[in-house]
Amino acid sequence: MAREATINTLLEEERIFHPPEDFVKQANVNSQELYAEAKANPRLYWGMQAERLDWFQKWDKVLEWNPPFAKWFVNGKLNVSYNCIDRHLCTWRRNKAAIIFEGEPGDSRVLTYWDLYREVTQFANVLKGLGVRTGDRVAIYLPMIPELAITMLACARIGAPHSIVFGGFSAEALRDRINDAGAKVLITADGGWRRGKVVPLKKNADAAMTQTPTIEKAIVVRRTNQEIDMKQDRDVWYHELMAKAPLGCPAEELDSEHMLFILYTSGTTGKPKGVVHTTGGYLVGISTTHAMVFDVKDSDVYWCTADIGWITGHSYVVYGPLANGATTLIYEGAPDWPEPDRFWEIIEKFGVTIFYTAPTAIRAFMKWGRKWPSGRNLSTLRLLGTVGEPINPEAWVWYYQNIGGSRCPIVDTWWQTETGMIMISPLPGITPLKPGSATVPLPGIDADVVDAAGNPVPLGQGGFLVLKEPWPAMLRTIYGDDRRYIDTYWTRFPGKWTYFAGDGAKRDYHNYYWMLGRVDDVINVAGHRLSTMEIESSLVDHPSVAESAVIGKNHELKGQAVAAFVTLKARAFSELKSAKKSFKEIEGELKAHVAKKIGAIARPDDVFLTAELPKTRSGKIMRRLLRDIAEGRILGDTTTLADPAVIADLKQKYESRES
């Protein structure tokens, strides 16, 4: 019911917001012609966009497409760190703020482009000194501090692909990612600040490193100053290495297809996928979209609130803004620390002009109330953005009025870890906005909505969102697993070489896209993709659990929340019966277990212990019915169930517990 309800609301959404005249006048893109130009010759268009960058050697060919493997800007040579730093040094931007940093405790730092050059080249020399060579993988597990940007740029400088693991992930998640990438060095910190408390990163890293044979050295940034263990011969302090490191390190002339980074994301199986992004196409894609979608000017203070550990942070906190010579803001902590107006205080403090955040955050701001933003001066803002999940029209309008003062266009940007860059989004100077719609594909992007056979569906109907042509920042493969790359993204519509994104979408009669959420077993919790399979395998790993089924259930703030249905092994069940343990205790244990295995973001809101799970005759768990139960709907089709009594019983017990 809830899902249909969302579609209905969207259908009723007819408000249109036109860009204000003064915004149009100054916009980076102010003509619709770009769409037609790009459509007429996408390769020529991307070749023109590539001129934004500095190349050591120009490419011979824009694209070589051996589906589903792409090479962009073939034989071009460039360096991402050079494009993000060095090329600005010979301009007035040398002394411009590259990074403005605000720590959660209130400390702040500004790094100019020159400062960034110094730190990055010194750290590149540190890495080299530890034996890191072009092609070696470096794992990074840091809080949102400038060293995160510095270390990733240093890796890019010497051509060592980085694998950044979000600081909220657990030791085990970190271990698995290090091992999959075969990383040689880990960069971490003693801790990071979150709601006034220390996140014990080094402690987690120590636990991970007991089982990571490839790690030779761990470099530790001092941030929170608590006591930590430093293992002799393995662990070294960042500041000690930096104190001895020389300034200046040549930027390697790397092939356009050189691997820039691996970033792990959830898929429909238990094992995270190492999404591989390369150098030239990625940087062309993100610098182009950053300039066009965010309309960035030299006078802007641009703030994307995403953690650098996610793709949004890679593309639109660090690489996109710096390639464009912009000023990018990094904030370490929580939006409600010490008070729920921290974001608005930061906007006021630094005069932020462009603000990009997630719908889940906007819904939290709404809940906290308009008094928080209204107490701060937000008049410097001129453009707002959202990403991560569909934004409901109510939240859109609240954001528009209360944060944007009804004068700032909102860019609702649809994209993925795999796409690397924004794919469907308004261009703020020319696209009329409809609250809740990501509007239309960007110039040079060929998207469609198709049915199960891969044929386009008529306007007004829902279907699968697909991408029909390669794009420069597309993932190149899954690290070490070309087969999985092909199977996951390219085989849904045989014979077509169409990329299937995993999302449902609908186009309205103006050809605007409305995202309808995931159609696979991936759920979206507060804008973060989690695999139901991965959570299920972490539950089954607990000694008491026999079987589990995880679903996403609608949640007011987070979009979706994790709900787990679990059957227990006989011994655990008898402990329950003999009252050695209560239901509550076991539920609590299981929630904590998932948080330990994956990270707090995956902790189920709801764990429901049941004697049996509903299955088809062939033994497949019917998650669809579990979703109906969790969201209080009338049960859908139950005819394929092996034993209909199971579901009736489950529904009754679940509802009596809820009440």
Binding site for ligand PRX (CB under 6 A): 265, 311-312, 387-390, 412-417, 438, 501-503, 515, 518, 524, 528-529
* C-alpha to C-alpha distance for 323 and 302, rounded to whole angstroms: 13
Type of residue numbered 315: S
285 or 340: whose CB is closer to ligand PRX?
Answer: 285
122 or 265: whose CB is closer to ligand PRX?
Answer: 265
> Cβ of residue 372: shortest distance to ligand PRX, in angstroms?
24
> Cβ of residue 615: shortest distance to ligand PRX, in angstroms?
28
> Cβ of residue 312: shortest distance to ligand PRX, in angstroms?
5
Q: Count other C-beta atoms under 10 Å from residue 587's C-beta.
A: 17
Contacts of residues 459-463 at CB distance under 8 Å and 24 or more positions apart, as own/partner, are 459/507, 459/508, 459/509, 459/511, 460/506, 460/507, 460/508, 460/509, 461/506, 462/7, 462/504, 462/505, 462/506, 462/516, 463/504, 463/505, 463/506
The H or E element containing residue 38 is helix 33-40
* Alpha carbons within 13 A on the beta-carbon side of 70: 25
> Cβ of residue 383: shortest distance to ligand PRX, in angstroms?
15
378 or 525: whose CB is closer to ligand PRX?
Answer: 525
Torsions phi, psi for 550 (to 5 deg): -110, 135
> Cβ of residue 88: shortest distance to ligand PRX, in angstroms?
26
> Cβ of residue 341: shortest distance to ligand PRX, in angstroms?
25
* C-alpha to C-alpha distance for 446 and 317, rounded to whole angstroms: 26
CA distances (Å), 172 to each of 211, 540, 562, 595, 598, in order?
A: 9, 15, 20, 10, 7
204 or 524: whose CB is closer to ligand PRX?
Answer: 524
280 or 390: whose CB is closer to ligand PRX?
Answer: 390
328 in Cβ contact with 317 (< 8 Å): yes
397 in Cβ contact with 5 (< 8 Å): no
Q: Kindly report the three-state secondary structure assignment for every residue of 274-297.
A: EEEEECHHHHHHHHHHHHHHCCCC
> Cβ of residue 458: shortest distance to ligand PRX, in angstroms?
22
188 or 312: whose CB is closer to ligand PRX?
Answer: 312
204 or 413: whose CB is closer to ligand PRX?
Answer: 413
437 in Cβ contact with 513 (< 8 Å): yes
Could you tell me which residues come within 8 angstroms of residue 241 by beta carbon, excluding any fewer than 6 positions away? 126, 129, 219
340 or 441: whose CB is closer to ligand PRX?
Answer: 441
- Tokens 């005069």 correspond to 351
> Cβ of residue 526: shortest distance to ligand PRX, in angstroms?
11
The H or E element containing residue 627 is helix 623-630
50 or 387: whose CB is closer to ligand PRX?
Answer: 387
356 or 608: whose CB is closer to ligand PRX?
Answer: 356
CA angle 503, 285, 326 (to 5 degrees): 115
**Whether the bond into 390 is cis, omega within 30 of 0:** no
> Cβ of residue 418: shortest distance to ligand PRX, in angstroms?
7
Query: Helix, strand, coil: what percent of the chain each, to 5?
Result: 35, 25, 40
> Cβ of residue 384: shortest distance to ligand PRX, in angstroms?
13
